[in-house]
Amino acid sequence: MVTAAQMVAGHVGLDVSCLDRVYLNGYVNKLQTPGGVVYFFHDHRGKPIVSPALFEPIGEKFRRDIRGWAQANGIPLIRFQAGDRKADVMAPYLDAAAATGRSQVAAVGCAREFQLVWTARKRDTDPGRCPQFSFTKEQRRVSVFCIYIWDTTMGGGFIKICSYFPYPVKVRVNGHEWAKRQAAAAGIGFTALSNGFASCEDPAALQQICDRFGPGTVRVWSERWMAKIPLPLGQADRDAGYWRELSMRQVETSRTLVFDGDCHARAFFEALLCENMDLGRPENVELLFRRGQPKGRHTAPPIFGGFRTAIDRYCQMVSINVYYKNSRVRQYLKDGVALRIETVVNSPDDLGCNRQPGNLPELQAKARAINDRLLQTETAGQDTVLVSPVIERITRPAVTGDGRKAPALRFGDLRVQALAGAIAAMLFTVTGITSRTLRALMTGLLHHPYSMNQASYDLSRLARNGLIARLPGRNRYTLTPDGLLFACFYTRVYDHILRPLMAPDRPNAPPELAAALGTLDQLVAGHITRARVPTAA
């Protein structure tokens, strides 16, 4: 199978894959069940009656502690307003912290958000008996504190702590920002994009740095900073086993291709958009994610996401989003020069991975494969305009290196066009291309019998032109990179350009085309009349 690197070879100055935003949940495992809540207050803290009244003193102390800590250390305390984009509000504080050249807490943001917290309802009991409560988790709008951190090794990140029991935590870091600081420390020169790399002196070394970013890096960073900020549960609670574990909430895996000056990146990207609007069909999305439904089971797509493609245009930027279950693949033009592909995994279950951070390498490998398959699928047809020597070679008779003749595959010939269509239909067959499958497809495309000899001849000329390769010891063939370009170019140009131009008098033909050809016919007829050229009998 052709690789994306082969597709864009010679037209991309930098191609780097890296984890982008990594968003984690922090939770105390022992406080995730009603029994755990009762045990915490009754057995660990020694409260005779476990009631929701015990939640508030812990939350109030935490809110008081974090405000006092921010004031004592000269850290700005910002209250977010409705409609604020938190990243934009905090950007000046992070920039100011970065200018100092030392790791520090840049600011603390306070907001009210919906969080999954414990609530309680009083049970019906006999008069005179101690009250009893049942505990359930529900979404409630509560206060949260966002501690924005500037770190000399990680760049910008934040830790968000809920002020209501069981005090869930969220952690976010950025792999690109970490890689920038590692590259600078290693003495590797680079030019930065707004969130990525525009150029690099040593791309191979940069890719090795990006590959090193993993769960250990995130865990060390989060533990180091959570040890420096006030937390709702104290040291005695942590010593008793009430510590936080992390799980993956959202992981973005990106691939960035920075085009050279000879390639018009915007035109190339918008051409991809026009040609790939059908990516959101279920079979196409499952081809990218390769996690289809089990045999015999056909379920409706989930309400969130589902199978669809969306084109978004905002802030002078166009992006294409391909949704699958809870996750999506996002593609857009970054800073006008780079094609960015991001697989955003909102639920690791979508890719068959567990949520523990230790599974981050497996999740990243699967997401990178999705990025590669998306680019491979899209560029198969578009890149033909960049590799016209291949088309020139196969449209003329040639001689192979071992002296055998390679018959031409002339564009527009009905049998050649049917051959390109048949190969396109077999792009993703597991068994490969065989004479039997080729005969079945060609008979349907040509609408007349297609013999065994014809199939043998066509397979031979495809192989001699380097469009297919025979599997060792078997009568089966696989498609080569040039063969993929041949199939996509011939079928797309014929179906999208040649056939509409040749059928102006048929139903649904564009009126503009019929009018233009009518004008041309009148001009030609007029010139013939004035030249007094006799009509052929």
Closest by CA position to 251, among listed 4, 25, 86: 25
What is the structure's pLDDT at 414?
A: 86
Strand, helix or coil at 285? helix
How crowded is the C-beta side of 306, counted as CA atoms within 13 Å?
10
Query: Looking at 378-382, 461-465, 482-486, which range is the least confident one?
Result: 378-382
What is the structure's pLDDT at 522?
A: 82
pLDDT band at 447 (very low <50, low <70, confident <90, very high): confident
User: Number of H helices and number of E strands within the chain?
Assistant: 18, 17
Check residues 106 and 537 and name the one with the higher pLDDT.
Answer: 106
First to last CA, the chain: 55
Task: Report the percent of the chain where pLDDT is more than 90.
Answer: 43
What is the structure's pLDDT at 289?
A: 73
Beta pairing class for 104-122 and 77-79: parallel
Are the C-beta atoms of residues 225 and 3 closer than 8 Å to each other?
A: no
Record the tokens describing residue 523, joined without a space.
């001009």
Query: Looking at 67-71, 189-193, 455-459, 470-474, which range is the least confident one?
Result: 470-474
* Dihedral-angle region of residue 473 (phi above 0 means left; psi in -120 to 50 means alpha; beta otherwise): left
Closest by CA position to 158, among listed 29, 24, 252: 24
Separation in Å, CA 124 to CA 22, 24, 416: 45, 39, 81
Record the tokens describing residue 172, joined without a space.
């976010």
Say if residue 31's pLDDT is above 60. Answer: yes
Query: Looking at 350-364, 406-420, 492-506, which range is the least confident one?
Result: 492-506
pLDDT tens for each residue of 215-261: 999 999 999 999 999 999 988 999 999 988 999 999 999 999 887 75
Fold of 390-498: Arc Repressor Mutant, subunit A (1.10.10)
Mean pLDDT computed over every residue of the chain: 82
CA distance 62 to 74: 18
pLDDT tens for each residue of 368-414: 998 888 877 666 555 444 445 677 778 778 888 788 888 888 888 88
Percent of the chain as helix, strand, coil, to the nearest 5: 45, 25, 30
What is the structure's pLDDT at 270?
A: 63
CA distance 80 to 86: 7
Say if residue 350's pLDDT is above 70. Answer: yes
What is the structure's pLDDT at 279?
A: 61
pLDDT tens for each residue of 194-210: 889 999 999 999 999 99
Check residues 106 and 492 and name the one with the higher pLDDT.
Answer: 106
What is the structure's pLDDT at 299?
A: 45
Cis peptide before 131 (omega within 30 of 0): no
Q: Where are the domains of the chain?
A: 1-22+174-214+244-381, 33-165, 390-498, 503-537
Q: Which pTM was predicted?
A: 0.68
Say if residue 537's pLDDT is above 50. Answer: no
What is the structure's pLDDT at 513?
A: 67
Mean pLDDT (whole number) for 440-455: 90
CA distance 489 to 485: 6
Record the tokens describing residue 354, joined without a space.
């567990």
Strand, helix or coil at 398? strand
